[in-house]
Amino acid sequence: MTEVLPKEKKQKDEKTLIVGQAVVDLLPLVEGESSFETMVPLHPVLGSPLEPLQPGIKCSLEVKVSVAEPLLTTAQILGGNLLKVTLEAAYSVPESFIPIGPLQNYMVSLQVPSAGEKDYTIFFKNGTLKLGGEREPVPRPKKWPIANILAPGANNIPDAFIVGGPYEEEDGELNHPEDREFRNQSESIKKRITWDLESRCYLDPPAVVSFQKRIADCRLWPVEITRVPLVTAPKGKTAKFDKMDDENSLSFHGVAYVNMVPLLYPGVKRIRGAFHVHPYIDSIVYEKTKCLFSVFRDTGHNLIPNNKIGGVNSPLSKPVISKNLKEEKIQASSIKSQSSDTPLETESSLNHNPEGQQYVEAGTYIVLEIQLDKALVPKRMPEELARRVKEMIPPRPPLTRRTGGAQKAVSDYHMQIKSISRVILDEYHRMFGKQVAKLDSDIDSETLEEQKCQLNYELNCSGKYFAFKEQLKHAVVKIVREKYLKTTPFESQETLQTFISELYVFLVDQMHVALNQTMPDDVQGAVSTIHMSSEQLRLFAFEAEVNENFEMAEVYYEERLVREPQNLEHWLDYGAFCLLTQDNTKAQECFRKALSLNQNHIHSLLLCGVLAVLLENYEQAEVFFEDATCLEPTNVVAWTLLGLYYEIQNNDIRMEMAFHEALKQLQARVTKQKSTGTLLEIPVEEGGKVTVESSLGICRMASGSSTGALKVDAPTGPTAPSSILDELLEEPSKLQLQLQEPVLSVQSQDPTISQRPSNQFAKEISTKREASKCQDSSIFLHPTPYGVSQTSTIFMETIRFLMKVNAVQYVHRVLAHELLCPQGGPSCEYYLVLAQTHLLKKDFAKAEECLQQAAQMDYLNPNVWGLKGHLYFLSGNHAEAKACYERTVSFVVDASEMHFIFLRLGHIYLEDKEYEKAKKTYLQACKRSPSCLTWLGLGIACYRLEEITEAEDALSEANALNNNNAEVWAYLALVSLKAGRQLEAEQAYKYTKKLNLKDETLLAEIHMLQETVGFGNPSF
């Protein structure tokens, strides 16, 4: 605000006086608004007429800002982000920094990746050197990073404060208890340089993607600090210190390495911490951050253009390097630009940075905050998790006690007697009144006999007597069959009469027993039945595979076949299980049985061909494969398998033909999907859910099912020991996570496997990838999170198909082609699959290396973290496994296979005695894919939390799904002992011993509780 003074005599121009200054924040324009009104405080400048105003009275301006059209589109607003960087201070600076002598400009800079070739550069300049002696006050306002603010207080950003916080909650380097004393001294008594500036940077959607990728690739971010000597402006002009002395260069060049990875954690929008300052040495900076240029020293990164950061600019608007210095450096930078792969050789003076070394000696560190408007990786809201937990356990009618055989028949007879006696008593009361029954001995025998005759007459006349006989008939028949085991005609009439006499005596005795008992008020209802679906049996079989209990898995598979022998999918699943156990002959029988049910079923044909190749029946294999291509000429997998067969036969011409046709069909499908706009869509049958299927393969989608199937590579070679496959089963969840992973291209686990794709075919392959969409409706690929392009090759589709049925020996050949394919090569999925193969061999070190590579390529992939958790779990590092599992669960997009992630995370929680977390985790597992193991885990957690009723409910569910689990019976025994039910406790303990519980600790706990309550063990 300026005041125009009256023109004096002989004065040519009017005089103006700046009386105040206000700052308007234009951020709403970047947030999508086209106009806004605001009331901003007017700060008086020194000597302004506004200064004498009374304390507490403040002037303000009402400002309206508008633009012709919004600065950003809706897509840019939704997909973009706002980055705020706050530089607070540098503490414990070198002793050579003194406030007297030549004036110095203390500056800090960092770069923000953009979608273009050049990065944005943010500068903070004009830091204030302080001698220390007291702490910086908190909260204190953040300041605008602009230099033309004249009024005191106008440089403060409204409603933005530096609030500090405990060191332990920071994300930087000096956040350990042992650093507390040093931080306290540095921030109270030692020298420091303060800025308190906040700089903003708008990131458009491509820049957000680039920002995430750079963080995943580099992890560490270089933040440079330097000191530049300044000279004052000529006399008579306003003093400004933004021009460098042409004869001097920057000094005390240091760098802090900020770990930006936390910004990729789900839900994290802000990191703040203290970071050590190190001397800036090109080779070290490149090694840690892959950054070739210094924004202060190297003109290869043009400082001036990069200073413009979208709609929100950085504080520096003028050159910070002298013109002469730039001219001297331009030749060196042009030489450097010729090589971008390796750091350039620099002068020895750049490799030796004695001034920068003083930062290390003094223990200098900077405190800064990096904040985003929206988290790069969204996190599930607590409300959503709470809602899902409430929906976990569906209502189930209470289970009634079952007594089998003769006892059940007699019990039913008692119930019928009681029911009939109640009806007869009601009829007696109706005829003679209730008062008569109360007279008891006052009624003589003649009267009673007369009443009996009248009652019999009434019952016979009304037909009730006949109804009673019919009511008892079924109960009597059950007694004859169950107790006396009479189910065939009698040999003679004499034998019949003898049996009837015996039966009559027994029925009368039991009638007296029933009448002498107190008649219950409620009649027991019908027994509810628990029917396990085919999908549930499939899940239980998978769990048995993972636990290396192949006998139990086979029982579940066979039960599915008994229930639906005409369902060819059941035969295919059983065949895949036989491949897992390396029973190729039985697997072939299963696949051929499926084919006999439907001779036009493409997958059955292909699997018969695969088994024929494995068993070296090559002529049969050719018939199966060719038949498949004839029945479905558009089937990519069929053509690819046929080409692989011809390769085995050294028939290069036909191999090229088959591969070419497969590629042609793949391209046709991609074109069709693009035209319909469904390229990235993956068909999921309604009600279907991704879950685990076969232990070694990809995931499968069954309609309405809660069970899918993933499979994992097994060891190579037909003679690979089944124990290794079994171990894999322990990791299937992991493996499955990966394989099920939608988009990733599975690459050959062993790049050294030799293959011979022809040159012609190699040229033809260089086309677009197809969406990762499994050919068969039964194969479902879980969508890749965060919009990663889902593309595939003909070999990748074939790999997924083969992994589904555990045809590992065949998979290796296809993997080699995928690696050699122009569209193949190392990818995130490649490293995931490679990690799975190492896990199969229990080679945890190599598996971890592969997962590190996968994380660098797709840091936000929940499957990477899920498999990492499995790696640590199997290697015994449960602390790291828990961290990885928790991160996987916190992602908005689930990993491809969550079942065993929940199971193992819950198991770790139980080990760590975090029972409340274990309960919530198992509840989620029970909702997604309930099984004996999920209910057992929930029951254990509730029992440890002393929630006996809930524990009993959960354990009852587990027992209903699998009554051969010794651990379930063990905890049922504990629950019964706690509840004081002796009979149930003894029964549960009996089955615990019968099923040979192997957990000695749990058995000892049962014995201790039995001794405490004094019952539960019939042996003492």
| CA separation for the pair 455, 428 (Å, rounded) | 7
- Distance (Å) of CA 358 to CA 106, 362, 655, 809: 15, 6, 67, 61
Question: Which pLDDT tens digit goes with each residue over 819-856?
Answer: 788 776 677 877 787 777 678 677 899 889 989 988 99
- Distance (Å) of CA 872 to CA 727, 734, 839, 889: 14, 11, 11, 16
| CA separation for the pair 228, 321 (Å, rounded) | 9
- By the 8 A CB rule, do 356 and 252 touch? yes
Question: Which pLDDT tens digit goes with each residue over 677-703?
Answer: 655 433 333 333 333 333 333 333 333
Q: Which of 221-230, 291-300, 591-600, 1003-1012 has the lowest mean pLDDT?
A: 291-300
Residue predicted with more confidence, 724 or 831: 831
Question: Which pLDDT tens digit goes with each residue over 497-555?
Answer: 888 888 888 888 888 888 887 544 443 444 444 567 888 888 888 888 877 788 888 99
Residue predicted with more confidence, 969 or 487: 969
Give the residue-averaged pLDDT of 89-116.
85
Give the residue-averaged pLDDT of 797-820.
79
pLDDT category of residue 31 using cuts at 50, 70 and 90: confident
- Residue 242 predicted with pLDDT over 60: no
Residue predicted with more confidence, 747 or 676: 676
- Distance (Å) of CA 582 to CA 152, 588, 711, 721, 722: 81, 11, 15, 9, 7
Nearest to 705, CA basis, from 716, 692, 714: 692
Q: In Å, how far from its chain's centre is CA 884? A: 9
This prediction has a pTM of 0.45
- By the 8 A CB rule, do 643 and 626 touch? no
- Enter the CATH code of domain 74-230+250-296+353-379: 2.60.40.150
Question: Which pLDDT tens digit goes with each residue over 430-442?
Answer: 877 766 655 555 6
- Residue 233 predicted with pLDDT over 80: no
Nearest to 648, CA basis, from 814, 815, 818: 814
* HEC secondary structure over 210-258: HHHHHHHHHCEEEEEEEEEEECCCCCCCCCCCCCECCCCCCEEEEEEEE
Q: Which amino acid is at 248?
A: N
Nearest to 108, CA basis, from 216, 263, 226, 206: 226
List of residues 6+ apart from 333 with CB closer than 8 A: 293, 298, 299, 300
Domain spans, the chain: 26-71, 74-230+250-296+353-379, 403-432+449-514
Question: Which pLDDT tens digit goes with each residue over 170-215?
Answer: 888 888 778 889 999 899 999 899 999 999 988 888 889 888 888 8
Whose tokens are 């008569």? That residue is 436
pLDDT of residue 89: 92
Give the residue-averaged pLDDT of 673-678.
70
Give the residue-averaged pLDDT of 777-781.
29
| CA separation for the pair 272, 1019 (Å, rounded) | 64
Residue predicted with more confidence, 302 or 592: 592
Residue predicted with more confidence, 402 or 243: 402
- Residue 900 predicted with pLDDT over 70: yes
Question: Which pLDDT tens digit goes with each residue over 914-929?
Answer: 999 999 999 999 988 8
| CA separation for the pair 639, 530 (Å, rounded) | 45
Question: Which pLDDT tens digit goes with each residue over 140-155?
Answer: 999 888 877 878 888 8
- By the 8 A CB rule, do 727 and 738 touch? no
Nearest to 288, CA basis, from 222, 366, 367: 222
> Coil, helix or strand for 496?
helix
- Residue 576 predicted with pLDDT over 60: yes
- By the 8 A CB rule, do 567 and 533 touch? no
| Mean pLDDT computed over every residue of the chain | 75
CA atoms within 13 A on the CB side of 168: 2
- Residue 768 predicted with pLDDT over 50: no
Residue predicted with more confidence, 759 or 23: 23
- By the 8 A CB rule, do 771 and 672 touch? no
Question: Which pLDDT tens digit goes with each residue over 268-281?
Answer: 788 899 999 999 98
pLDDT of residue 392: 34
Give the rounded percent of residues in the chain with a pLDDT score beyond 90: 20
Give the residue-averaged pLDDT of 774-799.
48
